[in-house]
Structure 1
Amino acid sequence: MTAAPSALTSLESARLAVAALAEGGVRHVIVCPGSRSAPLAYALAEAESRGAVTLHVRIDERDAGFTALGLALATGRPAAIVTTSGTAVGELLPAVMEANHAGVPLVVLSADRPEELRGTGANQTTDQTALFGTHVRHCADLQAGTDPVPELRRALLAAEGIVAADGHPGPGTAGMGGMGGVSVQVGPCGPVHVNLAFRDPLVPEPGDRLPSAGPDDAGRTGSADHPAPVDGSGPAEREGSRPLALPDLAERRTVVVAGHGAGPVAEAFARAHRLPLLAEPSSNARFGPHAVGPYRLLLNPFGDLIERVVVFGRPTLSRPVARLLDRADLPAALYVPEPVGWFTPGRRRERVVEELDDLSLFAGTGPAGWLEAWTRAGHAAAAAVDAAILDADRLNGPSAARAVWEAAAGNLLLGSSNAIRDADLAGVPAAAPAARVFANRGLAGIDGTLATATGIALGAGPGARTTALIGDVTFLHDAGGLLLGDGEPEPDLDIVVLNDAGGAIFSTLEHGGIAESGRYGRTVERLFGTPHRVRMNRLAAAYGVAHVRVDTPEDLRAALASRGRGRRIVEVAIDRTGVRELHRRIAAAVQEAVPASATRSASPAGPDPAAVPAAAAGQGAQRIHSGSQPGT
């Protein structure tokens, strides 16, 4: 087949594409080496020499995708990833899936063979159109030689949730406005995919070159800005700053559940309405006087007393909370001020509420004794947890998570599996947050966690320290994320690895009972525990990363206090053989410390609700501003 004459050369098309990215607010681009994507690589190098973008080079596309995800999370702006054709594009699927469910603006630019080579058996050629299916907000396949700007503008708008009324992203400029009068609707942020075909030649013309007074040989200037991150992690912080005025509200025994991405508005709402706050670590609402630390262990004694539930963000961590939200007899409301991508409308049981005023009427205010009973029980439960997990000589998952939670400042990434659950159990709510907490809870996988942490640290900019708390299986799954090419910027990142020589989370689930029964021999240990003997100090040395091993709580606290520059692995040696029994002891200790009788003061037969001064119901109402962060 003879190629049709092209209006644009491959490099001309690539330069237009890169200009559209910069115009649309993309400041960080991850580039993976490849031949077919070479025009984009050269065009990006030229753009970096002008300070328009910052490039990061990775050889592993899977890690590249998660690094871009972390950059987008940290900066609040779309981040882009460039790959060549073939399996390289498929490697991005895990990161695209996470970005879809977490609502993260991720821009995938995949290079492809031209139309005349498709279906011919040409090397590295497959059908890349619509490769990511329903996981992207927008996808486009551009023929070689065409102007990519209009389609990239549509894609960038779609990544930030701007879609024309006919279902196609509007054509205006690449910013949030510029729709030229076209009717638009706002949807959830998320990933987009633009597939760009290129014909030979794929290299610059002989006369092309980078500016001689520009960057070094690596093409690095570091001049692209590091914008301030978006406060919070969810949509609640981005609506208007109108304060919530509390009318005369009914008294109800309501609880506020703050899931992933809820943001500080959940804390302010709970405080204004005198309600207990049950906040997951990555809610960024786990602070203030109403936050109850080991809340999931208190849902049994308090369960029958709860009259209503208000949900901010996406709860994902614990079965007790899931059971609470599944109760058909319990009215529940889900605050969704902006569209989100993590659930399909009509598929959840809760009443969806878009306005804080309506949510306030639904929730009411806590009657006398309600909040106080939760607070007393929370303190007693926390003391019981401490007695079970804190040992002067030995570390375990919850005690290590407690130490990391207390020491973290700047950014904190919590890995899936046990790490985030240990922090949820043992992390004591502070008066005000010291760290912004991240977690890949879109699909709650362990994939790409080190790369995500790296992206967050790079996006945070100079002077900001990032800490990641992860398990050893999560660490080994993404060990390739430690690789940084020579000359690539090294983030300030502490990677705290809870090393128990395998996977412990399954022992706390039903599989732990199967293991205890002995009916399947060592099957559970082999298939779910996945034991290993990796020497992490040698792995760290191979990648040129500093390493320190700690065995006692004192050693861990000292290591966390000695923050430096660059990357460091803090290996925490723990034993997982007793994890199931440890959680039994914790549950038993809390049950003894907080028996059902302890909730008596919160019951309808408790203190007279009329004893609560009328002013108390409105206390803190003026503190609810969806754009504020109380205490920060």
Structure 2
Amino acid sequence: MSSVDLARTVVATLLDQGVRHVVLAPGSRNAPLALALATADRAGQLSLHVRVDERSAGFIALGLARATGGVVAVVTTSGTAVGNLLPAVMEARHAGVGLLVLSADRPASMIDSGANQTTRQDRLLGEHALACIRVASESGGVADWRAQVARAVVLASGARTRQPGPVQVNVELAAPLVDPQVLVPVEVGPGLQVLSAQPAGVVVLPAGPRTVVVAGDASAAVGAAAVEFAGQLGAPLLAEPSSNARRGRCAVAAYRLLLPRFADRIERVVVFGHPTLSRPVTALLSRQDVELIMVAPGAEWIDPGHAASRVVDAVRAGAPGPGDWLAEWLAADREVAQGLDADGGLRRALTRALWASFGPEDVVVLGSSNPIRDADLAPIAEQGPQVFANRGLAGIDGTLSTGIGVALGSGRPVTVVVGDLTLLHDVSALGIGDLERRPDLRVVVLDDHGGSIFAGLEQGAADYAEHFERVFATPQAVDLAAVAAGFGAGVVQVANPDDLAQEMARPVHGVEVVHVRLPR
């Protein structure tokens, strides 16, 4: 069997198992995969997205997977190319996103020989990948390869394990790498039929204990479940922006500021998603004197304080809780909101203008620094946008690429809200190839000249002021507008909330950057 046979079998199996988006970073060793995928794309069998930077390609695949809910493949050549996928793989592992890494490699006989771009890459992603499966053109045949790749897709989907995540398929390809047969479209078959593992039943929770519902980073479906349960119980809903639950009559906008006031009276906490944003919530989830119920539809659950009382698949309220409990929270929330509006300054006003522009049809990707924390104090909307954020590990790298993947996967305009350092981390993602599909993407950059988020942490204390600017704030003199324009993005400069609201009211066409300057 040849490398072309293996590449065509891999692509056919992806199609058989329902994979419809693949991100490719070009190279030499992955040539047969690249040509087989391009042929499938031209035949309308899948959508191929080509990027020159593997790190960006990984996060675009991550965004595609989050937007579509399916497994998305990312293909690299051998060597350091595979290592550049590690940040996206780490995020996918902790966020439970189905990502299939197809890493082209040389034959096993060439390992440790000093051959060009050859290293031990089959386990390079380590424990961050759920598994590493090897297929080789010099070993096995079509039936073996199909079975292995199908198993990898199913494992990445979490269909049997209830734990989706990244899986590596190391594709060992011997020369010759191409022949004209690679340009013949593959046939799509029925694929491996795998029934999903079924969750357990719904647990009915009685009314009585003073309960709060905490919603962290989650899918739209999980967010909707949190909103529904809080409404059934009439309990305060403490929802982060990327929980997709920050709406409705029970949602408390300034919950992180109110928790110290109410914490001693809380008797039960029901947790949806993956809360990561605030220390008051982390402190609440670490208490041993309250009942902590973790709602986890997957095989894993969060428990940062090692204090969980129960882990369940789903919950329903047996009866409404005490009405005065929610009323107290909402009254306090209105009081705090008035103070924030009076004293919040330009940043608060810009945040209000930005979030007032979003409706239920909008899609937003938030950077993991100040923008998501600003949104965490924004007023509650009756029906807010769908929100994504990379909160599995809460890194700022790859945020623009994730937004591009979400836009390509959803087929809808996407607004990405980031700080200046987050933009610099991933600005090359704006360099979309001439032959590639361009998303409708608006990037709102809140530029406060460095990492101002650290000022609110311990290192922002006066004792460390001598070194703060250099080793934490890291101010930079990059002209972000000029850089974005150099990558072909349309650029608009905004100075105040009214101008921002006017800009946000325009439809998004192509890739554009809205640059907002802020004082530190």
What's the TM-score, normalizing by structure 2? Answer: 0.92
C-alpha distance in 1 between matches for 2:343 and 2:296: 38
Separation in 2, partners of 1:289, 1:71 = 32
| Residue matched to 1:101 | 94
Per-residue deviation, 1:245: 9.8
SS in 2 for 1:369: helix
Deviations 1:265-299 (A, max 9, x none): 11110111111111001101110001010111111
Matched, 1:350 2:308: yes
Higher relative contact order (CA 8 A, sep 6+): 1
Q: Deviations over 1:374-424 (max 9, x none)?
A: 11111111121111225xxxx32x433332222124210011011101100
Give secondary structure in 2 for the equivalent of 1:447. Answer: coil
Paired with 1:208 and 1:376, the residues of 2 have a C-alpha distance of 66
Matched, 1:256 2:213: yes
2:285 partner SS: helix
Pick from 474, 482, 488 the counterpart of residue 422 of structure 2.
474
- Structure 2, unmatched stretches of 5+, are 186-195
1:366 CA displacement: 2.5
Q: Name the counterpart of 2:494.
A: 550
Q: 1:432 corresponds to which residue?
A: 383
Q: Alignment partner for residue 195 of structure 1, among 145, 170, 174? A: 170
Match of 2:402 in 1: 452
CA-to-partner distance for each residue in 1:300-336, whole Å, 9 max, x for gaps? 1111211111111111000011111112222211112
- Report deviation, 1:251: 1.9
1:494 corresponds to which residue?
Answer: 442
- 1:420 maps to which residue? 372
2-structure distance, mates of 1:67, 1:423: 23
Matching of residues 76-91 of structure 1 within 5 Å: 76-91=69-84
Q: Distance in 1 between matches of 2:96 and 2:249?
A: 30
Which stretch of structure 1 is more off in the superposition, 36-45 or 380-389?
380-389
Matched, 1:380 2:330: no
Q: Which deviations, in whole Å up to 9, do the C-alpha atoms of 1:398-451 show, x marking residues without a partner?
A: 4333322221242100110111011001x2221123x21000000000011110
Given that 2:282 and 2:305 are in contact with CA atoms closer than 8 Å, whether structure 1 keeps it comes out as: no
Q: Give how far 1:141 is off.
A: 1.7
Cα 1:93/1:563, change in 2 over 3 Å: same
Asked whether the equivalents of residues 6 and 136 of structure 2 are also in contact (C-alpha less than 8 Å), the reply is no
| Inter-partner Cα distance in structure 1 for 2:484 and 2:512 | 9
Q: How does 1:43-122 map to 2 (within 5 A)?
A: 43-122=36-115
Partner of residue 505, structure 2: 561
Change (3 A) 1:246 1:117: closer
Q: What does 1:3-82 align with in structure 2 at a 5 Å threshold?
A: 8-82=1-75
- Using the alignment, how far apart are the partners of 2:313 and 2:320 within structure 1? 17
2-side partners of 1:360 and 1:406: how far apart? 32
Structure 1 residue 239, shift from structure 2 partner: 6.5
Aligned with residue 299 of structure 2, among 315, 339, 343: 339
Query: Structure 1, residues 142-173: CA drift from partner, whole Å, max 9, x if none?
Result: 2223332111011011011245xxxxxxxxxx
Cα distance in 1 for residues equivalent to 2:199 and 2:352: 33
1:355 deviates by 4.7
- Could you say what secondary structure the match of 1:80 adopts? strand
Q: What is the alpha-carbon distance in structure 2 between the residues aligned to residue 253 and residue 150 of structure 1? A: 52
Structure 2 CA distance, aligned partners of 1:44 and 1:439? 29
Q: Once the 2 structures are TM-superposed, how far is the Cα of residue 551 of structure 1 from its aligned partner? A: 0.7
SS class of match (1:478): helix
- Tell me which amino acid in the other structure corresponds to 2:111: R
Q: Secondary structure at the match of 2:376?
A: helix
How far 1:481 sits from its partner (Å)?
1.1
Q: Which one-letter code corresponds to 1:195 in the other structure?
A: N
Query: CA–CA distance in 2 between the matches of 1:348 and 1:21?
Result: 39
Q: Does the CA-based 8 Å contact 1:258-1:311 persist in structure 2? A: yes
Write the distance in 1 (CA, Å) between the matches of 2:342 and 2:376: 17
Q: Secondary structure at the match of 1:263?
A: helix
CA distance in 2, matches of 1:53, 1:191: 20
CA radius of gyration, larger in: 1
Does the 8 A contact of 2:439 with 2:510 survive in 1? yes
Distance between the aligned counterparts of 1:56 and 1:94, measured in 2?
Answer: 19
What aligned pairs does 1:581-592 form with structure 2 within 5 A after superposition? none
SS at match of 2:363: strand
Unmatched tracts of structure 1, length 5 or more: 1-7, 164-185, 212-234, 577-632
- Find 1:370's aligned residue among 301, 304, 325: 325
**Cα distance change on mapping 1:128 and 1:547 into 2, 3 Å:** same
Query: Which residue of structure 2 aligns with residue 583 of structure 1?
Result: none
1:321-332 alignment runs, 5 A limit: 321-332=281-292
Instruction: State how far apart, in whole Å, the 1-side matches of 2:441 and 2:64 are.
Output: 14
How far apart are residue 209 of structure 1 and its match?
4.5
User: In the superposition, relative to structure 1, how do residues 152 and 347 fare at CA in structure 2: closer, same or farther (>3 Å)?
Assistant: farther
Q: Residue 314 in 1 paired to residue 264 in 2?
A: no
Coordinate RMSD, CA, aligned: 2.2
Question: TM-score scaled to structure 1, two decimals?
Answer: 0.76
Shift of 1:470: 0.6
Identical positions, percent: 48
Once residues 158 and 440 of structure 1 are traced to their aligned partners in structure 2, the CA distance between those partners, rounded to angstroms, is 22
Contact 1:337-1:353 within 8 A present in 2 as well: no
- Summarize the Cα distance change of 1:432–1:479 in structure 2 as closer, same or farther, 3 Å threshold: same
Matched, 1:285 2:233: no
Q: Is residue 2:101 matched to residue 1:151?
A: no
Q: Cα deviation per residue 1:84-133 (whole Å; 9 max; x = unaligned)?
A: 00000000000000000000000000000112212110000000112111
Corresponding pairs, count = 501
Q: Answer whether contact 1:404 1:469 (CA < 8 A) is retained.
A: no
AA matched with 2:386:
R
Paired with 1:507 and 1:25, the residues of 2 have a C-alpha distance of 47
Over residues 45-102 of structure 1, what are the superposed CA-to-partner deviations in whole Å (9 max), with x where a residue is unaligned? 1111221111111110000000000000001111110000000000000000000000
Cα distance in 1 for residues equivalent to 2:36 and 2:153? 19
